[in-house]
Structure 1
């Protein structure tokens, strides 16, 4: 065989072997996708390298991304950037503008979170209000009257009771000496004389009715100002006052009256609070000055609070998200053909260079082998 032809032949064979070997190696990174079996035994190098190591690769990829790329520190740094601050500020401005222009209410936002949530909140609030009113009604029902009055009010009330006897005496005296009192005494004297027989009727022959009434009024005036009468009045008033203070509410109010009272208190509180009206009232009109203050300054504080909260809790949020597991699942869900297309698309130039390098090195080795064979 001609020496030149032999060298050329060995060069071509070497180039083909080198290039085709590299092409096969690249191909075997993915192919075959599944293990192949012959006589029940798995053939070597099946499946390809990436399919065989897919589980391990997805785990490692997730760890690399979460430990070196999407780290909590990276999120914290991003949250603190001017870009993030501007984004949050733009979001808040748009929300404020929408709330004001469309007169959005608390009911709107609640129902956006969960349809019918506003009605549930109203019902829950009213049920809780009724429950609390019932509880307080039961508690108050078994307490003494004196324990229900605040200390300052009780002191004032004690003073009023001490002043009650002179006031009663004064009012009785005014009644006795009034024109009405005179007419009442005159009528009672006349009825007494006419209904007590001849002995009583004989009094009118001894003195006139006017004289009798005048004497009665004089004696009553003396009686109500007598020290003993004053003591009796004070004692009776104090005894009744103490009796009332030490009485339990249930001794004065029946169960049916208590139910009516509790229901009335509940109705008054429910109407005064009016949760339905609160939820339907535009947020921007609850307190106009406060809303304008929030638009001017408060929104910046809210932005800073949001960023601060997210930065403080980034570690826990990332941990809860389990990004490594999410990345692993996403990679595992890819079709192998899709992964192969992505890798080939990204590295097509490099793979072609490797193939060409195989042809070149194979041919170079073929030339060297040819020269060795010719000269040896």
Structure 2
């Protein structure tokens, strides 16, 4: 009877473009999102006992067990580590270790201020400096200043030499 109204075209050929157009529509996405949020809110309101009544835990456990057996290579557990570790070495070295080190570095840098406050490093240094004799402090200051002044002298000589060379080239080329 439906084919009488549609002619020689199949019902699928008429409905498929309309369904695709509906699924690509922004309003449909919003409607589905609102529906899913409402259902999620309903699920969050359920008590654990109610969820257990609705779900067959044996079926879920069996499903999880089957998926684990399909996807996790348990056959390696019977073999020594040296036989199957080369398979994981590239992933560990290229991905896991760098990501782990990066995360540890982030965690340390985030907690560094708190750690330094707890260590009271400023107080420790202050106490140590106060315990130094005047002679030792004087020697430390002089050794640091000598080193710095020596570097300043060498830098001045280098800059003076470069400036002199540049002036010499300018005089030669300009005369």
TM-score scaled by length of structure 1: 0.16
- Which has the greater radius of gyration? 1
Query: Counting helix residues as a fraction of each chain, which structure ranks higher?
Result: 2
TM-score scaled by length of structure 2: 0.32
